[in-house]
A and B are shown apart, each in its own frame.
Chain A
């Protein structure tokens, strides 16, 4: 599992896919991101973990500017995040996002959910978008549900559709904001399996999650956050067996007991 097809160093471009430098963000008096520096290379799978309220979701959401930052800079594929507007919309099209609560478009069918972006943003003809959409739905194992509406699907199925919807834009990086936290336990694995496959295929991924199994299995790097700071960064093996900071040790002792 550790040797992945994408781990070819020559494939790496000279700039990181995501580069965050001295990023700060406040929610009122709360300092949620403190001087965050993080760089993610092409094909890398970075898992962000930490106690709730540590700022990991916010960090994820700043990368496509669903949350604006107060200071510092964020670059995606070397391009500085623009202000709200057409340019930002274009950049967001290149950044896939999967939400905790799926957020499938409730009034559109499964297939329409996947093809909306390709048709409206990429200007693909409908027939081509449908072909692409069905192909992606097949990849995530939901091809036979394509004419249903989101509410008719289980949580696990909805989240797989959400992944297909993001993939339909052929993103440079995929952001996962606690993708399995809202799922019933028996549905977690079907979503994680899709994510592991994606990782194997070389997708650049930022994954905020509590699934330590996924981190061990698919991550190249674990980023541990606490109180708005990146406290520790390491390979999954090193991090889980030999955490350096006291806060990481405390956190791991709490979650790995059971």
Chain B
């Protein structure tokens, strides 16, 4: 096992996984919150646009979304997020993060919406009755309570996101599963050890995540 760690940059690959997870999660939260707010807004065209986005993305395979951004937008149409002269691994990393953020934002939006549905309508009515406008009602009354109801499904989405980073190996991002593939190719004799290392690595990442979300949802529970 020590020789695996010596010849392959396993920790470095997991670090890339962590980076992808972090930035994709941030992006997914931002996009998902915007989509959820659009869907509950009183403006019909915004509702329709958000629903189309959420349903469209949520029902597409992740691989397809990743390929769309990397092959269609980047390789075919030449769209870049940084200077075109940057290393190709940088392009892959950035487009990978965008694809992950977009894909998971649909699930974040769904989680937030289910959270919003747990907030009784009376809360929104009371907020409007004291003169809060739509944005204020959302910010002061609805979202803080919705977030509490959304914590558990958000936790599941974030765990799924962490594991889904492995799909980015298909576009050459050097994350954990990419190094796993390389190791299996060159050291098939250590196959089971490699599997165990990978499984253990992901458990180390996701288990505390799940525990943190569970603790958070317990602490934030709204008594009614």
Q: What is the interface of chain A, defined by CB distance below 8 A to chain B?
A: 64, 66, 84-86, 89-90, 92-97, 99, 101, 103-107, 116-117, 120-121, 149, 151-152, 162, 165-166, 168-169
Contacts and interface: CB of A to CB of B under 8 A. Distances in A.
A93 B131 contact: yes
B122 A101 contact: yes
Interface string B33-71: 000000000100000000000000000000000000000
B117 interface: no
Interface in B128-176: 128-133, 136, 140-141, 144-145, 148
Interface residues of B, number: 22
A53 B7 CA distance: 78
A166 B223 contact: no
Contacts of B130: 92-93, 116-117, 121, 165-166, 168-169
Interface of B: 42, 120, 122-123, 125-133, 136, 140-141, 144-145, 148, 222-224
Nearest to B145: A107
B42 A103 contact: no
A102 to B, nearest CB: 8
Contacts of B224: 106, 151
A89 B42 CA distance: 14
Contacts of B136: 89, 120-121
B136 to A, nearest CB: 5
B123 A89 contact: no
Contact of B122 (A84, A86, A103, A107): A103
Given A105-B126, A121-B136, 10 more contacts: A85-B133, A89-B132, A92-B131, A93-B131, A97-B126, A99-B126, A105-B127, A106-B224, A107-B144, A116-B132
Given A106-B224, A107-B148, A151-B223, A120 B132 contact: yes
